[in-house]
Amino acid sequence: MRCPYCQHDDSKVIDTTHDSHGGIRRRRECLYCKQRFSSYERPILAAPLIVKQDGTREEFDRQKLERGIRISCAKRPVSAEDIERLIGQVEADLQKMGKAEVSSRVVGDLVIKGLKELDQIAYIRYAIVYLRLDDLYALRNEIDRLLLEKK
């Protein structure tokens, strides 16, 4: 593993932890400059093709998913770690399905479920686009539904 500080190729592993999605986080120390850094390894499993509403198909794009979630979580007390965990969970759930193709609706449903548990304002922001809440009454109904669930 190349050191991000001095670009030297030799480092030693100090600590290794495993996460629930099969990823491995390794704490490393460069043998040349003695700086410490972390690396993250995750298995590359075949993610299914995403079938859009118009019938077109595209590869699952983790960065596209991350952008959408980050936009809905902007200026909210949601940590980068929580966002990364949600993205990883969505990706892992898609891979566990074992299907070659999955509807974009399934991806949206997984995200909306995760955001609802993570932050309700981020959930509403995402829902405005995803659920097509195009007027104030539809938005109000969704907020009222959330408030009833909270009781």
Statement: the pTM of the whole predicted model exceeds 0.75: no
27 and 70, same domain (yes or no)? no
77 and 134, same domain (yes or no)? yes
Report the SS3 class of residue 78.
Answer: coil
* Residue 91, token pair as written in the block: 């990706």
Report the SS3 class of residue 5.
Answer: coil
In a domain, 26, yes or no: yes
End-to-end CA distance of the chain: 50
pLDDT digits (tens, 9 = 90+) for 100-123: 899 999 999 999 999 999 999 999
Predicted confidence band at 21 (pLDDT cuts at 50, 70, 90)? low
In a domain, 4, yes or no: no
What is the predicted pLDDT for the residue at 12?
Answer: 95
Predicted confidence band at 44 (pLDDT cuts at 50, 70, 90)? low
Q: How far is CA 140 from CA 15, 135, 136, 143, in A?
A: 49, 9, 6, 5
19 and 75, same domain (yes or no)? no
36 and 79, same domain (yes or no)? no
Give the closest residue to 68 by CA, choosing from 142, 119, 122.
Answer: 122
pLDDT digits (tens, 9 = 90+) for 50-104: 999 899 999 999 999 999 999 999 999 999 999 999 999 999 899 888 888 999 9
54 and 35, same domain (yes or no)? no
* Residue 131, token pair as written in the block: 């659920």
In a domain, 5, yes or no: no
105 and 88, same domain (yes or no)? yes
> Domain limits at 83?
49-150
What percentage of the chain reaches a pLDDT higher than 70?
96
37 and 57, same domain (yes or no)? no
CA–CA distance, 9 with 30 (Å, rounded to integer): 8
* Residue 105, token pair as written in the block: 């609706």
* Residue 69, token pair as written in the block: 């979630």
Report the SS3 class of residue 2.
Answer: coil
H or E element, residue 68: helix 62-73
CA–CA distance, 123 with 89 (Å, rounded to integer): 16
